[in-house]
Structure 1
Amino acid sequence: MNQNTLMNVLIAALILLVGFGVYYLINIGNQHVTPSKRIHFHRNRIFRLTAIVLGVVGFLILLRYNPIIRSVLFAIVFAVVMAYILNPLVVWLEKKGLKRPVAILLIYLVIAGVLVFLFVLVLPRTVEETTKFLRALPGLLTTGTSNLLNFLDQQFGAMVDLEELTNRVNQMINDSIGTIQQTLFNFAGSVTGYLGGLFTRIVGIFIFPIITYYFLNDKEKFTRLIVDAIPANRKQGMSAMAKDIDISLSQFVRGRLLMAVFVGVTTTIFLFIFNIEFAIVIGLITGIADIIPYIGPFMGFLPAVLLALMQGPVAAVRIAIVFVLIQWVENNLLGPKLLGDSTGLHPFVVLMCLVIGGSLFGFLGMIFSVPIVSAARIIWIYYKDSVHNRKLN
């Protein structure tokens, strides 16, 4: 155990000791005041909450220092998410006459086929384009700058001091090329290292599809176990709350995934049509970024237009028009049908979720922050209603 961990444990222990000390001091004080002025505690709730906090802290410490448990837990979490996403498709196949195990295996075969296709055909091309892009970056920046300056010269030559502007831009490029290349290579290296580490976690990788299968196949059993663990007087409210959370999350998650696939594939096709280099890489970035509400499309739009600009202003204008059309279709045709007002969150709250989630947990934080806050909002609403009803009774 390193020094930082030991310090954190000592701080947590000190906080607990202070809490218990305050609790007992208040109890001693209660013995010397009238009943109306005493501070009352729910002792069972306090001990229960303390036990929960200690259990969570102990579990997090164990998770931090035991890679096998961490790998298994991540596999379980991702299996739950995957089962949740795939369950509607399994139900649809059941309605077509297939038994549930057969439907699950059929979906597994389709997923395996897609993965093989990606690894055999798409992944090599993507790696090749990415490597080519990193090597060609200095030349692309120079060419793009030259094209932009020529365009400005033709349109605003009399209004702009192009010689001074050219010198400044060239100086900026020379100063930034090394930094940009190093950043991109570091990012590629970190992604490669992460993927390599991911595949070395054999335990998690092998049990992930197995756990997903059992969650899908025995969904009713797991649901019954959870329902049986809920007190009888709270089953109705908890069931309604779970149903509302399911409707909100399923609509948001599946809607965003479908729209991301649409945006990524459509963007790639149009980039190929207009003969824009690195079409697969840009399409992949655009599709993944589109999962993030509001700011995701801009994350894909900027690199596409910049790379197109390096091939000329006309190509950049074409790509900009394509992106505007794709976003119009997504926001006006697909979005209302697939999403609606699924989260119930104000756009400002969504943006705050993205900023906070991204700063704390990176890209995954930006993806999962909105559905988590949406679920927390529903839980809070039901909790307030429950407290209000108890006061009335």
Structure 2
Amino acid sequence: MLKKLAHPIPGAQPRVRFDIPEEPSADADGALPDPSEPASATSMFRHPIYFGFMGTVGVGIALFLSYILANTQSLVLWIVTALFIALGLDPVVRWLEKRKVPRPLGIVLVLLALLGVVAIFFATLIPTIVSQTTQLVTNAPIWIKDFLNSDLFKQVDGQYHVLDTVNEQVAKFFQDAQAVGGIFGGVLGVGSTIANGLFGTLIVLVLSLYFLASLPSLKAWGYRLAPRSRRARVEELSEEITRGVGNYVIGQVCVAVLNATFAFILMSILGVPFSVLLAFVVALLAFIPLVGGMIAAIVVIAVSLTAGWQTALIYAICYFAYLQFEAYFVSPRIMQKAVAVPGAVAVISVIAGGSLLGVLGALIAIPTAAAIMLLVKEVYIARQDKH
């Protein structure tokens, strides 16, 4: 018998074994898993109660968030408005920072200048509005009396008995307790609406000041949410978006002021009544892109008809000529550093924003559309061009 070697032969290697792969194990029901089926789907069928519970929890969270948004819509609108104002004032603060003015002092200077302009404006506007409103209330009975004594009304009343019908309906109205109660309810509703408006204005001012003061830290905190490898690109895109929105707000303010100034000068020359009040209305409507100038023109033309159709015609010709001048010469030069949105996209975004959030939605529609277009261009299209 050969003795077993105490030491293996040098250079000898173990034989490689070619084992047959094991068959996939069957589940409890004896069914084999489908190789083409993803693992998540297999797990779903293995644990239907777990996935059903988690799906129900997800739906519940979505409904809860929808309920919160539906009941805090006013707060969301206030926050969006305050952020929009802060982004509009931020370029002015940055300009002061470049002139070696500390940011806190720059914010105080901008706030004082804004409050001063608003105070001067309303100090000039409110006495005029009160005076013109008093004239309207004083002259309204005289106008009504002259209309009732006119030959046209007498002729119409003789055929259709308008005055008797009006007296009869007024008597029925005051005999209806529910209708009279509705009047007092409407008055209380108007009072509560005014109170909510003042409270909302205060909240917006406080939030605007807070956002303006902490905007750099808020943006720095937001950039930390992005991955470190992409943080520089996210910061670059965000700075470009916020810069464009701020320039848009400042440009829109300049356009509205010029529009209202021209309208006030023209109304003063033509003798249109309530010129100060109408100039204030024109300034507010001019903030609405695309359609604000047209609406302001219709309102002022309707009022100027009381001074004669010649006055209304002259105002319409001059104001529509200014709108053309503004569209082709004023706005392009003021908005050259702001957002650039094609006309069709601007119209669609304004309509969609107005339908969703009203006037505020129409105001922020164009900068929002510009931000979306920038993201699509710099992220999606750039990624598609690499493939």
After TM superposition, give the deviation of residue 131 of structure 1 in Å.
7.0
TM-aligned CA distance change 1:75 to 1:269, over 3 Å: same
Tell me the residue number matched to 1:94.
97
Aligned partner letter, 1:90:
V
| CA spacing shift, 1:133–1:111, aligned 2, 3 Å | same
Asked if 1 retains the 8 angstrom alpha-carbon contact of 2:91 and 2:247, the reply is: no
| 1:192 Cα deviation after fit | 6.7
Matched residue SS, 2:224? helix
Amino acid corresponding to residue 198 of structure 1 in structure 2:
G
Asked if 2 retains the 8 angstrom alpha-carbon contact of 1:353 and 1:373, the reply is yes
Coordinate RMSD, CA, aligned: 4.5
Deviation, structure 1 residue 54 = 6.4
SS of residue matched to 2:358: helix
Give, as a single letter, the amino acid of the residue that structure 1 aligns with 2:35: T
With over 3 angstroms needed to count, the CA separation of the structure-2 counterparts of 1:88 and 1:192, relative to structure 1, is farther
CA shift, 1:279, in A, is 0.8
User: After the TM superposition, which residues 1-393 of structure 1 pair with which residues of structure 2 at under 5 Å, given as runs?
Assistant: 32-35=33-36, 38=38, 57-65=63-71, 71=75, 74-126=77-129, 128-129=131-132, 136=140, 194-200=193-199, 205=202, 208-340=204-336, 342-385=338-381, 387-388=383-384, 392=387
Farther-moved stretch of structure 1 (262-271 vs 348-357): 348-357
Cα offsets for 1:210-237 (capped at 9, x unmatched)? 4433433343322221222210122233
Per the TM alignment, residue 350 of structure 1 is displaced from its structure 2 partner at its CA by: 2.1
Q: Distance in 2 between matches of 1:224 and 1:246?
A: 13
Q: If each structure's helix is expressed as a fraction of its own residues, which one has the higher value?
A: 1
1:315-365 deviation per Cα after TM superposition (whole angstroms, max 9, x unaligned): 123212330342233123211112249544332232222333333333222
2:100 and 2:141 map into 1 onto residues whose CA distance is: 54
Q: Scaled by the length of structure 1, what TM-score is found?
A: 0.65
Offset of residue 305 of structure 1: 1.8
1:113, CA displacement in angstroms? Answer: 2.1
Greater alpha carbon shift after TM alignment, 103-112 vs 113-122: 113-122
Judge conservation of contact 2:88–2:247 (CA < 8 Å) in 1. Answer: no
Q: Which deviates more, 84-93 or 322-331? A: 322-331
Q: CA deviation at 1:139?
A: 5.3
SS at 2:352 equivalent: helix
CA distance in 2, matches of 1:283, 1:347: 27
Query: For 1:351 and 1:292, how far apart are their aligned partners in 2?
Result: 11
C-alpha contact 1:264 1:284 (8 A) present in aligned 2 = yes
Alpha-carbon deviation of 1:65?
4.3
Tell me the amino acid that sits aligned with residue 196 of structure 1: A
Which has the larger Rg? 2
Q: Give the partner amino acid of 1:34.
A: P
- How much does 1:40 deviate? 7.0
Runs of 5+ consecutive residues of structure 2 not aligned to the other structure: 1-30, 44-50, 164-185
Aligned 8 A contact 2:91 2:246 in 1: no
Q: Is the 8 A contact 2:247 2:337 kept in 1?
A: no
Q: Is the 8 A contact 2:350 2:366 kept in 1?
A: yes
Please, which moves more after superposition, 353-362 or 256-265? 353-362
Please give the alpha-carbon distance, in whole angstroms, between the structure 1 residues aligned to 2:121 and 2:341.
36
User: One-letter code of the match for 1:354?
Assistant: V
* TM-score normalised to structure 2 length: 0.66
In the TM superposition, residue 288 of structure 1 has moved relative to its aligned partner by 1.7
Work out the percentage of aligned pairs sharing the same amino acid.
21
Distance 2:285 2:330 in 1: 17
Deviation at 1:298, TM superposition (A): 0.9
Alpha-carbon distance, 1:300 to partner: 0.8
Give the whole-Å Cα distance in 1 for the aligned partners of 2:299 and 2:95: 39
Question: Structure 1 residues 221 and 301 mapped into 2: Cα distance closer, same or farther (>3 Å)?
Answer: same
Q: What is the DSSP-based 3-state SS (H/G/I as helix, E as strand, rest coil) of the residue aligned with 1:348?
A: helix
Distance 1:138 1:49, change over 3 A: farther
Q: What residue in structure 1 maps to residue 15 of structure 2?
A: none
1:89 CA displacement:
1.4
Contact 1:244–1:378 (Cα < 8 Å) also in 2: no
Structure 2 residue identity aligned to 1:126: I
Distance in 1 between the 2:58 and 2:128 partners?
50
Judging changes above 3 Å, is the alpha-carbon distance between structure 1 residues 59 and 208 closer, same or farther for their aligned structure 2 residues?
Answer: same
